[in-house]
Amino acid sequence: MKRGEKKAFLWIGISVAVIAAITITLEVQHQDLQVVSILKDAKDAVSMHKHGGSINIPVGIEADDLPDTESRGATMLTLYCAQCHELPPPSMHTAAEWQQVIARMKEFMRLRGGGMLMRTITPPEKDWAILETYLATHAQVPLDKKHTSDLDTPAGKAFQEICSQCHGAPSPDTHTVNEWPRVVLRMKSHIIRTGKTMPSQDVLMQIIEYLQKHSKTS
């Protein structure tokens, strides 16, 4: 091969390499934008809860704090859901709301993009069913105003007002006397994190006392 031909091939090779590098860079940037968009939708769908026109990110919990920790449902929740966001407490939604969340997550994982999402484990259909049953079993029980007393007291009103900043007020008999202080403490952290109205310590104690008064017995 002549010297001029070698030079021409060299320049052609360099040009092809440069074009390939630019193409790859643009494709990666495009995929990154898709991933960011998908992740945002996922957070809106699962890690965020719409209420009163605002979006609030719930504080995640530790796996040991899940109800029925040793169950297969708790294992499924830890294995699959914590891949992309904090571990959501089952009491974050009602059973009906969890059905909608599961449906959105199925679609989200089906359409997931490249990057981090390619390394996630997609649950088989039987695991989706176990997960949905577990979440429904331990879901939030909505407040039944017809069968809950003292709601018109200062403590009852404060309970409804503070809880409704982020989600529907739960039924007081969802937790026991000993569980409610811990739940309220976790919600206090959530209020601080999301910039919602923080009640005074006195009001918080009134809310805890109200919830304990109407809590489940065991």
H helices within 71-111, ranges in order? 72-76, 95-110
- Residue 4 and residue 64 in one domain: yes
Cβ atoms of 128 and 79 within 8 Å: the answer is no
Residue whose C-alpha is closest to residue 169's, from 99, 94, 57, 100: 94
- Residue 203 and residue 164 in one domain: yes
Q: Which two tokens stand for residue 147?
A: 């069968």
Residue whose C-alpha is closest to residue 125's, from 103, 95, 96: 103
Give 132's pLDDT tier (boundaries 50, 70, 90): very high
* Residue 52, pLDDT score: 36
Give the max Cα distance, the chain.
Answer: 97
Domain boundary among 100, 123, 140: 140
Residue 31 lies in a domain: yes
- Residue 152 and residue 127 in one domain: no
Range of the domain at 192: 145-213
What are the E-state strand segments in the chain? 49-51, 54-56
When divided into structural domains, the chain yields a total of: 2
- Residue 121 and residue 153 in one domain: no
- Residue 124 and residue 159 in one domain: no
Domain boundary among 140, 165, 185: 140
- Residue 161 and residue 129 in one domain: no
- Residue 57 and residue 159 in one domain: no
- Residue 130 and residue 50 in one domain: yes
Give 135's pLDDT tier (boundaries 50, 70, 90): very high
- Residue 161 and residue 83 in one domain: no
- Residue 151 and residue 64 in one domain: no
Report the predicted TM-score, pTM, of the whole model to 2 decimal places. Answer: 0.58
| Model confidence at 44: pLDDT above 60 | no
- Residue 205 and residue 123 in one domain: no
Lowest mean pLDDT among 24-28, 61-65, 159-163, 169-173: 24-28
Domain boundary among 140, 160, 183: 140
Residue 218 lies in a domain: no
- Residue 116 and residue 177 in one domain: no
